Structure 1
Amino acid sequence: MTPFTIKTFFPSGDPSGFRISEITNDSLQAFYIPKEDVKKIVESRLELTWNGVYTLFSNPSNGNNAYIGEAENVGNRLKQHLKEDTWEIAIIFIINNREHQLSKADIKHLEHLMYTEANKINNMNLINANTPHNSFVSESRVYDLKHIFKNIDILLRSFGYPLFNKTSNFQQSKSISDKNLFHLTLRDADAWAYYNFKTSETKVLAGSKLTPQDGTISFQPKQFNELTKNGIIKNNIFKKDYTFSSSSTAAKTILKRSASGPFSWKNKEGKSIKDLAK
């Protein structure tokens, strides 16, 4: 492994939102874009009208899905995906150098390579309807594109999406027993969490939605306000995984009222934490 530096720019000033990352002295740029910001960002960035490849990711509660694509106007293609409900985060890759743009053959070759490697590693569930077709590129260009792929892998891992890396801790999270995964749907909430039966810690997963309803008189908003201030919760959605000390603390924050976590959280069979703890 060779040491390297990644530079990340946050144009909106929000550390949990849109960002642009690049490895120092390399022209590959990665645009990390939350779904709700796609239209605004795509329409304001000239670079996103260029050729590129992209990945779409769901949160773990929706099955750790991933989609790999390519387009000659990658931003416009991303807007076409907005009607789909299978993803929350898009990451676009382009070469930010007018004289060395990726060609159509390049992005088709990269898409095929990314899909093949992701399918081999099987860290996430690929939801592409078809296997991407490979295109012909010269022998020397194959090695150029392998280098670009290596940096795509590095940048994805820096964002927390090890799509091509078998040794990642991400693979370990997939092995957690289903009995540890619980769902909370009271008051129109839609939240998923892993519960630790030994410590009572409750890890709420990114993408989980809080109740859209106002808090009740019993709601103590201190922790909610703190999580909102730190960018963990934005627009009533968890933008990152967050571990609460107990299932009840998690439930109270999500439901904005007093709640008993052991009774409120249910697994896919409809059994509560309390039922399974007996």
Structure 2
Amino acid sequence: MSQGRSLELYFVDGRPDGLLTAEVFNWTGHILSAPRIQLREALERPEAKYTGVYLLLGDDEDGRIAYVGEGESISERIRSHDAKKEWWSNVVMITTSSDSLHKAHVKYLESRLVEIAREAAQVRLENGNTPPRSSLSEAGQANMEEFIETLRMVLPALGIDLLQVQKRSARYGSETTDASTPPICFSLSAPQVGIVATARLEGAEFIVRQGSEARPRWVGQGGHVASYAKLHAQLCQLGILKVEGDKAIFTEHYAFSSPSAAAAVVLGRPSNGRTKWKRSETGQSYADWEAEQIGADA
């Protein structure tokens, strides 16, 4: 069972959209996040001169974009990007509180973060190629992988989903659920279009199972659901949804942020997933099941 962790956030100038530092108890890592308009203040901080990796985050005409880089003095690399790259609006500097990373460490981290970000496919990367990993000892690689695992917990807490991989392997769930706790399973069917999908609740994730069916194209209307339409298109592009005739098939398990997001992608239109998804064993709606769990009326 995963243990709870404590994340300490410090708003340097007392504003939630300004300079921010993040640290986790018993983790050597240190994160400094800053909007570009406060770049001068960020680069004046001592950790900006440490060896580490950094993320540039922003938007262009094609959507969200990011760049992953490394440097023995992060501030020098970021000053170069400030002069050459127009699109980014935020920077995240990832170092250690004692400046204990060296060049081989950050080369390895840069390579792995690019690999994970490409797999996650949440944001388009400006990095042309995945940089080669540096030569670290087996122990050194293990330390960096542990560092990355904590980083993958911290960044989403800061609203950064660059490393969030929603895909799950075909074996996902077979070893992760305690045998004494039966999995909570749901199904969604749309007989009029011949669609049947199944899902499983795992912690905070609503995971649509491999082999589930979905509409092959988005048919919904309205700008307020544009994000779900984009997600449907993205899953088709990535091959997670494979079109076969008049339906699409999930080729892998995929974790959604909510039952409604999952229902929208499955049905190809806006949908209240809380009422559409039914308990596989009882036919009870997700909303009724949830209300039962907290002892409230639906």
TM-score bucket (shorter structure): 0.5 to 0.7
Match of 1:147 in 2: 146
Partner letter of residue 138 of structure 2?
A: E
**Is contact 1:10-1:18 (8 Å) kept?**
yes
Q: Structure 1 unaligned runs (5+)?
A: 170-175, 182-193, 198-278
Report the aligned-residue RMSD: 2.6
Match of 1:46 in 2: 46
Q: For each residue in 1:79-111, what CA deviation from the matched residue of structure 2 results, as whole angstroms up to 9, or x when unmatched? A: 21113122111111001115xx11100000010
Question: Is 1:71 the counterpart of 2:50 in the alignment?
Answer: no
Partners in 2 of 1:180 and 1:82 — Cα distance?
A: 40
Partners in 1 of 2:146 and 2:225 — Cα distance?
A: 41
Q: Structure 2 unaligned runs (5+)?
A: 168-204, 206-216, 227-298
- Equivalence map 1:1-278=2 (5 Å): 1-42=2-43, 44-59=44-59, 63-83=63-83, 84-98=85-99, 101-167=100-166, 194-195=223-224
Measured after TM superposition, the shift of residue 178 of structure 1 is 12
Match of 2:237 in 1: none
Partners in 2 of 1:177 and 1:31 — Cα distance?
A: 39
Partners in 2 of 1:112 and 1:72 — Cα distance?
A: 15
Identity, % of aligned pairs?
23
Partner letter of residue 122 of structure 2?
A: N
**Is contact 1:38-1:78 (8 Å) kept?**
no
Partner letter of residue 145 of structure 2?
A: K
Measured after TM superposition, the shift of residue 151 of structure 1 is 1.6
Partners in 2 of 1:155 and 1:67 — Cα distance?
A: 18
Partners in 2 of 1:180 and 1:111 — Cα distance?
A: 40
TM-score by length of structure 1 reads 0.58
Partner letter of residue 47 of structure 1?
A: E
Measured after TM superposition, the shift of residue 17 of structure 1 is 1.1
Measured after TM superposition, the shift of residue 61 of structure 1 is 6.4
Q: 1:196 to 1:140 in 2, by over 3 A?
A: closer
Partners in 2 of 1:146 and 1:157 — Cα distance?
A: 17
**Is contact 2:120-2:166 (8 Å) kept?**
no
Q: 1:27 to 1:15 in 2, by over 3 A?
A: same
Measured after TM superposition, the shift of residue 161 of structure 1 is 1.3
Partners in 1 of 2:131 and 2:138 — Cα distance?
A: 20
Partner letter of residue 94 of structure 1?
A: T
Partners in 1 of 2:139 and 2:69 — Cα distance?
A: 23
Q: How many residues align?
A: 176
Partner letter of residue 133 of structure 1?
A: P
**Is contact 1:12-1:18 (8 Å) kept?**
yes
**Is contact 1:121-1:166 (8 Å) kept?**
yes
Q: 1:139 to 1:75 in 2, by over 3 A?
A: same
Partner letter of residue 18 of structure 1?
A: L
Partners in 1 of 2:101 and 2:18 — Cα distance?
A: 27
Measured after TM superposition, the shift of residue 166 of structure 1 is 2.4
**Is contact 1:38-1:79 (8 Å) kept?**
no
SS of equivalent residue, structure 2 residue 79: helix
Partner letter of residue 56 of structure 2?
A: L
SS of equivalent residue, structure 1 residue 195: helix
TM-score by length of structure 2 reads 0.54
Partner letter of residue 96 of structure 2?
A: I
Q: 1:67 to 1:178 in 2, by over 3 A?
A: farther
Q: For each residue in 1:119-144, what CA deviation from the matched residue of structure 2 results, as whole angstroms up to 9, or x when unmatched? A: 11211111112321211000001100
Q: 1:2 to 1:31 in 2, by over 3 A?
A: same
Measured after TM superposition, the shift of residue 51 of structure 1 is 0.3
**Is contact 1:39-1:79 (8 Å) kept?**
no
Partner letter of residue 103 of structure 1?
A: H
Partners in 1 of 2:64 and 2:129 — Cα distance?
A: 18
SS of equivalent residue, structure 1 residue 39: helix
**Is contact 2:9-2:22 (8 Å) kept?**
yes
Q: 1:180 to 1:50 in 2, by over 3 A?
A: farther
Partners in 2 of 1:38 and 1:179 — Cα distance?
A: 41
Q: Between Structure 1 and Structure 2, which shows a larger proportion of strand residues?
A: 2
Partners in 2 of 1:108 and 1:136 — Cα distance?
A: 9
